[in-house]
């Protein structure tokens, strides 16, 4: 990675540490329901990831994840800002469900991108692949659980949604793998 990318990663890490302040504000305002295990896990894991990234030089492998996550956070914090403005702005935040869908799409995309390093090993750090895929799956299951509890239709359970998402992800990954890694030519074939 270039020094420019390393510096960007450093500032992203610093911003992630500042993001812990929202937890402090929740506690100060006695909004304990907002300090969920998911919230705490997310903050700890992301700060730890960025430290690992800076310490072991994984910027090339993790930059896509960082950019996608940053874009989703812009949308997410726009939603939080509008909802914090009070009842007069409630009509502008009708899209909470779609925000959750965007987050789910992010985790599927990150998982698939990270798994691509199983096929393209040059320049990748195997431990980072395992960490990124594992975290994407944990977040995907957690958010699917939230989504199905809040927006469930037709009695689908979280496991139904996880199962159908896993099948779709497997099929998409197989397509990516087949396009990236065509069958080897058999040069000993008799003609």
Please report, for the chain, how many H helices and E strands are present, in that order: 7, 0
DSSP category for residue 120: -
DSSP category for residue 123: T
Would you list the DSSP string of 29-45?
A: TT-GGGS-HHHHHHHHH
- Report yes or no on whether pTM surpasses 0.85: no
Q: For residue range 51-95, what is the model confidence (pLDDT) as tens digits?
A: 888 887 777 778 888 889 889 999 998 998 998 898 898 888 999
Q: For residue range 82-129, what is the model confidence (pLDDT) as tens digits?
A: 988 988 988 889 999 999 999 999 999 999 988 888 887 676 777 888
Nearest to 95 by CA among 109, 75, 68: 75
**Which residues are known to be catalytic?**
42
Query: Does residue 148 register a pLDDT over 60?
Result: yes
**Displacement of CA 170 from its chain's centroid (Å):** 17
Mean predicted confidence (pLDDT) in 42-47: 85
Mean predicted confidence (pLDDT) in 165-181: 58
């Amino acid at each position: 990675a270039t020094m420019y990318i390393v510096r960007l990663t450093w500032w992203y890490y610093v911003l992630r540490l500042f993001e812990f302040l929202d937890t402090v504000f929740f506690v100060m305002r006695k909004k304990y329901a907002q300090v969920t295990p998911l919230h705490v896990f997310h903050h700890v894991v992301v700060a730890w990831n960025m430290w690992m990234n800076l310490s072991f030089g994984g910027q090339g492998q993790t930059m896509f994840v960082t950019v996608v996550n940053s874009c989703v956070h812009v949308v997410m914090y726009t939603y939080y800002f509008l909802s914090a403005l009070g009842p007069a702005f409630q009509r502008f935040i009708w899209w909470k469900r779609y925000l959750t869908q965007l987050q789910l799409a992010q985790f599927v995309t990150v998982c698939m991108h990270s798994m691509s390093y199983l096929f393209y090993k040059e320049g990748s750090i195997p431990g980072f692949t395992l960490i990124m895929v594992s975290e994407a799956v944990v977040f995907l299951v957690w958010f699917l659980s939230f989504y199905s509890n809040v927006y469930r239709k037709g009695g689908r359970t979280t496991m139904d949604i996880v199962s159908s998402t896993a099948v779709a992800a497997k099929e998409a990954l197989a397509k990516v793998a087949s396009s990236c890694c065509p069958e080897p030519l058999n040069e000993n074939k008799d003609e």
